[in-house]
Every structure is written in structure tokens, then in C-alpha cells.
Amino acid sequence: MDRFDNIPEVALDWHRAGRGAALATVVETWGSAPRRVGSQLAISGAGEIEGSVSGGCVEGAVVAEAVEAIEIGQPVMLEYGISDGDAFAVGLACGGTIRILVEPVGSVMPAGVLEELVSSRAEREPVAYVTGRDIERRLVRDGFADRFRADRSGFEDDGETFVCIHNPPLRLIVVGAVHITQALVPMARIAGYDPVLVDPRESFGSQARFPGEMILNDWPDEALQEIGLDARTALVLLTHDPKLDDPALELGMVSDVFYIGALGSKRTHAKRLERLRDKGFSDMQLARIHGPIGLDIGAASPSEIATSTLAEMTQVLRQGQV
């Protein structure tokens, strides 16, 4: 799933309002598609839409089919062959095929299942929606570990069971509202993260320096316990100050966060590891900390360091610890 959206929520609102609703989901496509497998479009009975299943080349046809599916209360599997010309128009080098499953809410996708999905998303609980032609539509929380880890929807080996992964939105927690943070936060937003800034120093962590951002002027250990740490969270420490960074690192190493990065030179990082090792943390736990932070691209300025940090976060998210 791309950056946290409100597509299932909108579909549920339309259904509850008696306006009719359907969810259209990309279930199969070519390798360089403009939208990933699992991408969704909500359609109301009046043809209103939220979301996208392509770069715009098939949306109109999908809406027309979805409105009809809502009227008759039946699912429909759509398949479009995209011509070279249409593919070029939406930014592809060549044509291909896209398959889209349209499921009216209520008659096909049980309203209770959609309500439970919306509730799970609000609670940042990973959940998989299992569907298919002759398969009971349901939510699954245990199982599909590889799919959750890779954030990858798709058909199972039987070619009939489709699993749509709904992971929580990516989140970035930054301890230290410094110059690097001012560059990193907007970059992370573009990449699909919801940032949270933590800095007890109100002169640093202020709305004047970070307008519109979520800022907690608490000590990091208190803030992280309030926020919660999960497998869709990246934790970045940028203060250089052990009083602020170390408590956050200690919580991060015993959590499921997918990335931990800490600013500082190799010498600073070596001292950091020594302090944490003296507190009883294992070499395996310490190895989770990326320090010095970021990919080694020769970054010098705050913006360059932010770029290298976001790149390393992406590498770990998509490829695992390297």
C-alpha cells in the first residue's frame, strides 16, 4: 500500500450513507505499472471515486463497470490490454495487461469485514484481506508473514486466492529537531512517511521551525512509550547527545522498528556501542543501529545527510538489514 490513504474509509462512508460503494483492486499487472498490485479505487453508486488503479488510462472504464456491479450486486474481474500509445501517455515505455477485481460492498464484500478493516487501519494493526472467486472473503492477521514484511499483495500459488495487504502507514520518528531534521521531514513525507518529531528543547522542537508537524516536547523515552514502536516505524536519532539518544536507542533495540539510525562519527558511534554494551545489550541488538547514519555517499550538508538517511531507510525497508 502507498502512503496511508482513506480509500476503504470512503467506501465504508458511502455504503453507510446508502449511496452504494465498491472497491476496485489491482490484482495483476505488468512489471512497470503505474500502480502496484493491491492499489485500490473506491467507487460510489453515483460514479464518485477516491484513489487510483492506473495512471488514468482505465479509470473511466472501471467506474462504469463498478456502477453496474453495484446495481446488480455481483463482483467483476476486468482485464485491460494497454496499447503502446496509452502506455506512453501514462509514463510507461511499452504496453501490457492490467487485471482489476471490482467488489461491491455489502453484496460481495461483507460490510462487517470492511468495518473491521477500517478499524484495524485506525489502530495501526497489519491485516490481510483475503478474497477470490469462490473464496470466503475475510480478514487474516496471522499468516502471510512474507507478504506483510515485503508489503506485497498478490495471488497465492493456487492462482485463485488473492491477498490484499493493508499495512499501517510508514512512520518516521526523529529524535532531535536539528537542521538535518528540517531537510529530512519534507523528504520523508514525499516518500510516504508520517513524521513525528521528539525534542524536549522547545526552542528546537517548535512550530516556528517545523510548521504543521507533530512535535512532542518530551524526553525521548517518555515520548516513544506514548507513541509506540512497530514494524512500520523508522527511528532516527540526530541529537549527538547521549542523554537524548541513548534512551531512545534502548527502546528501539527491543522493539520491532525496521530501521534505527544514529548520527555521529565512527568514533562517536564506537563510544555509543560501548555504553550500550555495558548496559547489557547484545552484539545482535547493537548491530541493528546504523551508525554513522545513512548510505556512504560522501554527504556533508544537512540536506545531503538527510538524503543519505532516507536512502538507507528505503534500502532496509525493501531489502532488509544489509
pLDDT at 94: 53
Of residues 212 and 4, the one with the higher pLDDT is 212
Residues 6+ apart with CB under 8 A from 282: none
Residue 17 — very low, low, confident or very high, per pLDDT cuts 50/70/90? Answer: very high
CA distance 144 to 272: 37
The distance from CA 13 to its chain's CA centroid, rounded to whole angstroms, is 23
CA distance 58 to 41: 11
Of residues 216 and 322, the one with the higher pLDDT is 216
Task: Please check the confidence at residue 219 and state whether its pLDDT lies above 70.
Answer: yes
CA distance 216 to 255: 20
Question: Cα Rg for the chain, rounded, in angstroms?
Answer: 22
pLDDT at 240: 87
Reference 233, options 294, 166, 129, 313; nearest CA is 313
pLDDT at 19: 97
Residue 4 — very low, low, confident or very high, per pLDDT cuts 50/70/90? Answer: very low
- DSSP state letter for 160: S
All domains in the chain, ordered by first residue? 7-166 (no CATH), 170-319 (3.40.50.720)
Reference 160, options 178, 176, 137; nearest CA is 137
pLDDT at 315: 94
Neighbours of 88 (CB within 10 A): 13
- DSSP state letter for 109: B
Region 22-45 average pLDDT: 86
CA distance 191 to 313: 11
The distance from CA 234 to its chain's CA centroid, rounded to whole angstroms, is 11
User: For 178-188, what is each residue's pLDDT tens digit?
Assistant: 999 999 999 99
pLDDT at 298: 95
CA distance 205 to 239: 12
pLDDT at 320: 81
Strand partners, 124: none
**284 neighbors 317 (Cβ within 8 angstroms):** no
How buried is residue 174: exposed, middle or buried, by Cβ count under 10 Å (0-12/13-18/19+)? buried
**228 neighbors 255 (Cβ within 8 angstroms):** no
Region 46-50 average pLDDT: 95
Task: Please check the confidence at residue 317 and state whether its pLDDT lies above 60.
Answer: yes
Strands (E), 30-141: 40-44, 49-51, 76-82, 96-104, 127-131, 138-140
User: For 298-313, what is each residue's pLDDT tens digit?
Assistant: 999 999 999 999 999 9
Residue 133 — very low, low, confident or very high, per pLDDT cuts 50/70/90? Answer: confident
Neighbours of 62 (CB within 10 A): 23
Task: Tell me which range, 50-54, 88-92, 149-153, 175-179, is most confidently predicted by mean pLDDT.
Answer: 175-179
Residue 29 — very low, low, confident or very high, per pLDDT cuts 50/70/90? Answer: confident
pLDDT at 3: 42
Region 135-160 average pLDDT: 91
